[in-house]
Structure 1
Amino acid sequence: MGIVVLLNLLRIVSTIVLTRLLNAEAYGVIGIVTSIAVVFALISDIGVVAFVVRHEQGLDSRLLDEIWTIRLVRSAVLTVAMAVLAGPISQFMQKPELFWPLVFGSLTFLLDGLGSMSIATALRQNLVKRLSVIDLIASLFVFVISVSLAWWWGNFWAVLVTSSLGQCLRAVLSYIWFPDSARRLRFSRARFLELWRFARYITGSTIITLFLTQADKLVLSRLFTLETLGLYVLASNLATAAVGLAAAYCTRVLYPNLARQWRESPSTFREAFYHQKMLMSSLYIFAVGGTIGSADLIVAVLYDERYYSASVFFQLLSVSALFALNNYAINELTIASGRQYFTFRANVVRLLYLGIFAYPAYRWFGPVGAIAVVGSTELVAQLYGWSTLHRLRLLDWRRELSLLGLGGVGVAIGLGVNAVGLRLLH
């Protein structure tokens, strides 16, 4: 938790420095390349980490070789596919200057595939500290190099090149810092089919997640100038800083513990779930509520006047972040207990909500209306998650409502701080 907070602070400091060295157009290019890469990754997601953590033989060398081989083949295919499609994609977006950034960005898949399986095995063995230290070292490296290259080059290539160098460092450390992490090519059709049976709901779900998380940027990239899109990407990066904390906690701490709890003592599963998540959920939802209330002040303090209009986007997108940890936790609970279908169904609910309300909101209120619908998507998912927990007899209303109350208190305090802070700035 501490290291993730440090990572988010480092991420904010990085944006403060880089926005002084780069213009908003550079953030637009970076945002598009990142979104395209995420699209390719989500289309082909096969749940490797969750499979290894939950599998009874998750530390077996042969199994790890077979899974590593499957992941490497997937990564190579994605690298080639994104590089080949870079031309058609840039032409479709009517921005031919994106061709070479997209080609270069395709290398991210190959670098990921060459890394070890240590993320999955470390989670299973509760070696979270070591993983977090690797993240911190790589992030510090990326920060120093990106700022240096941005000062020297003054364009988006500084961020793209540094991102790949950071991935290389993570891959190297994943082998050096974990014993027996070297893998060999070992093809197994039986293992692939087993992985597919486990991940078929996850794959279907992540294809929907693709639309839910990237459609806004892909659509807006056609409608907005690169400068306006850069403001939106900056706001999205700020809002997802909190989501990154929620995801890291749920995947690295909560899920491995729940998977073990389900294997060893399923009768105490409900109490273990709430016991493990309440402290983190309380701190998280209170802090994000404060962020929502003080969004204008945060943007005014962090960035110069070119970026002030990003505060509206930041505030709206932070509403989804408010419910992110609870939704991630319910998702990990269902996967740990062998109910992978929840992830798919929850994303169908999100998709239906966006499909029904996004366009009318855009027609009535313009882009801000559509973004407001995007920002409230996780609230709808939370309602569905509660209904699922209730049906499984795993829901504790008292604890869930107490968390919502903390979020409301955070918003109120944030609004007060926002009003006082802006007056002092003026």
Structure 2
Amino acid sequence: MSTAIWQRFSGSSLSARALRSSVLTVGSFGFSQALRLGGNLILTRLLFPEAFGLMALVSVFLMGLVQFSDVGVTPAILQSKRGDDRDFLDTAWTLQVLRGIGLWLTACALAWPMAQIYDEPQLMQFLPVAGLALLIAGFRPTRMDTANRHLMLGRVTLLELGTQTVGVGSAVLLAWATGSVWALVVSGLLSTLFELIANSLLLAGGRNRFRWEPEARAELVNFGKWIFLSTVCGFFFSQGDKLLIGKYLSLERFGVYNIGYFLASFPMLLGGMVTRKILIPIYRETPPRKSRENFLRLRKMRFAVTGPLLVLVASFAVSGHWLVDLMYDERYLAAGAVTVIIACMQMPQIVVQTYDQAALAAGDSRSFFVLALARAVLMIGCILVGLETYGLIGALLGYGAAFLLSYPVVVWLARRMGVWDPLHDLCFALLGAALALLAAALNWPAISALVASGA
């Protein structure tokens, strides 16, 4: 038995590399989230809820800059036939460096307007300093993408864990020493700098140099123009709740919301990490349209991914209120009901999240953009209607409605790529609905209290 398992994990075949990479990704994610949770618990005792609300605004702004300027360097390297060519890689790296410089300058220029919009003068100081992380990240070596392209993630995973440890450890130490939100800002810079230095020194591969090859630039721009538009939409899809809720609620309530979202988002983050790192290489090397055998192999993979993720998100939906009550003090109790509701609302997205990477693997970034646009419009629209109608509860219900309403577009893309699996979707949709009803029934008192609070 042990010999058979070892044989499946060893070797250089696609399945062996995929298995090793999946185990490393899941293990890394588990350690990373446990570290984040531990650090978060300590930080909530060293800082006040307003600090988390303020830092959430900074994070949303910086993430918006990143996604509003993403030209798809990483997915381009993963899917391109020239993904191992030195001229192509150096041109991609040069583009990435120029983008990082531009992002930091933009963060400096927009600090004052953002401070006025959110009526938070401290943003004028935080945004330019926190934006330095974007400048530093622009110099990250493409050898990180090369390792991902070939599903050789062992050393990359260890370095990611080291980066996470530096970030959380420095945040806790600085918060203990200063009691200020500056601890969260500076720790972000330290972890990004550590990531750059560690990956530059410890990963195998050639050193990047400035290069601007016309052919490589043309391929990157042609592929990246739709990725750029997709990531703009992806920003509103993934951060629209924070943009709108941060504007409608006080910083204290927004901080409570972010604690609840932090707990409920573990399964979604894990699923996104697995699909981004593993699926593009698998779709590229074993296209499902090529043979029925490839399609059935991918079906097994989807069942193996979706089942555990759905059970994991259900565990947070069932135990969310209890977890918050156990780990946080009375200032954050309302976050328990938020955790339960968000976890239930995320189940439709867990079911279908293995489809969209097929478009990137096929080089069809335009279809990927169509899905991203539909999701963004639905997310912003549903949350805005919910906020205007029922406040925070309405926003949470709108969050789930956006996932459900985007399903027809997901099916369109999946059929276009030849990867749609209705059997998979039906089985897990029924399971997800049953688990969500169970979680709501078990946590109904906490949900009712949140509704009664008028949040």
TM-score by length of 2: 0.86
Change in Cα spacing, 1:83 to 1:269, as seen in structure 2 (3 Å) is farther
Residue 251 of structure 1: aligned partner = 276
Change in Cα spacing, 1:17 to 1:204, as seen in structure 2 (3 Å) is same
1:331 aligns with 2:356: yes
Asked if the contact 1:141–1:166 (Cα under 8 Å) also holds between the matched residues in 2, the reply is yes
Asked if the contact 1:66–1:187 (Cα under 8 Å) also holds between the matched residues in 2, the reply is yes
Count of residue pairs the alignment pairs up: 422
One of 236, 249, 255 as aligned partner of 1:230: 255
Superposed CA offset, 1:94-152 (max 9, x none): 11121111111111111111111122101112112222211112212222222111111
Residue 370 of structure 1: aligned partner = 395
Structure-2 separation of matches of 1:57 and 1:103: 36
Residue 404 of structure 2: aligned partner = 379
Matching of residues 123-138 of structure 1 within 5 Å: 123-138=148-163
Change in Cα spacing, 1:65 to 1:325, as seen in structure 2 (3 Å) is farther
Asked if the contact 1:327–1:378 (Cα under 8 Å) also holds between the matched residues in 2, the reply is no
SS in 2 for 1:96: coil
Residue 299 of structure 2: aligned partner = 274
Structure-2 separation of matches of 1:191 and 1:304: 54
Asked if the contact 2:345–2:397 (Cα under 8 Å) also holds between the matched residues in 1, the reply is no
Structure-1 separation of matches of 2:440 and 2:247: 34
Gaps of 5+ in 1: 422-426
Q: Which letter does structure 2 place at the counterpart of 1:290?
A: S
One of 293, 306, 314 as aligned partner of 1:289: 314
Matching of residues 15-94 of structure 1 within 5 Å: 15-94=40-119
Structure-2 separation of matches of 1:419 and 1:364: 21
Structure-1 separation of matches of 2:156 and 2:198: 10
Bigger Cα displacement from structure 2, 181-190 vs 100-109: 181-190
Change in Cα spacing, 1:204 to 1:420, as seen in structure 2 (3 Å) is closer
Residue 424 of structure 1: aligned partner = none
Structure-1 separation of matches of 2:117 and 2:418: 49
How many Å apart are 1:213 and its aligned residue?
2.5
SS in 2 for 1:376: helix
Change in Cα spacing, 1:180 to 1:375, as seen in structure 2 (3 Å) is same
1:100 aligns with 2:125: yes
Asked if the contact 2:241–2:383 (Cα under 8 Å) also holds between the matched residues in 1, the reply is no
Matching of residues 107-126 of structure 1 within 5 Å: 107-126=132-151
Structure-2 separation of matches of 1:98 and 1:279: 44
Identity of aligned residues (%): 22
* Coordinate RMSD, CA, aligned: 2.6
How many Å apart are 1:411 and its aligned residue?
4.0
Asked if the contact 1:83–1:103 (Cα under 8 Å) also holds between the matched residues in 2, the reply is yes
How many Å apart are 1:359 and its aligned residue?
3.9
Residue 395 of structure 1: aligned partner = 420
How many Å apart are 1:391 and its aligned residue?
5.5
Q: Which letter does structure 1 place at the counterpart of 2:170?
A: I
How many Å apart are 1:393 and its aligned residue?
4.7
Structure-2 separation of matches of 1:278 and 1:204: 31
Structure-2 separation of matches of 1:420 and 1:369: 18
Structure-1 separation of matches of 2:289 and 2:374: 32
Gaps of 5+ in 2: 1-25, 447-455
SS in 2 for 1:294: helix
Asked if the contact 2:163–2:194 (Cα under 8 Å) also holds between the matched residues in 1, the reply is yes
Superposed CA offset, 1:368-395 (max 9, x none): 2023202332233334313443465533
1:315 aligns with 2:319: no
Asked if the contact 2:236–2:379 (Cα under 8 Å) also holds between the matched residues in 1, the reply is no
Change in Cα spacing, 1:315 to 1:267, as seen in structure 2 (3 Å) is same
1:6 aligns with 2:23: no
SS in 2 for 1:102: helix
Asked if the contact 1:52–1:120 (Cα under 8 Å) also holds between the matched residues in 2, the reply is yes
SS in 1 for 2:306: helix
Structure-2 separation of matches of 1:103 and 1:273: 45
Asked if the contact 1:259–1:336 (Cα under 8 Å) also holds between the matched residues in 2, the reply is yes
Residue 331 of structure 2: aligned partner = 306
Change in Cα spacing, 1:119 to 1:272, as seen in structure 2 (3 Å) is farther
Superposed CA offset, 1:207-254 (max 9, x none): 122222333323333332221121122222223222221111011122
Asked if the contact 2:245–2:392 (Cα under 8 Å) also holds between the matched residues in 1, the reply is no
Asked if the contact 1:389–1:395 (Cα under 8 Å) also holds between the matched residues in 2, the reply is yes
Asked if the contact 2:87–2:213 (Cα under 8 Å) also holds between the matched residues in 1, the reply is no
Q: Which letter does structure 1 place at the counterpart of 2:286?
A: Q
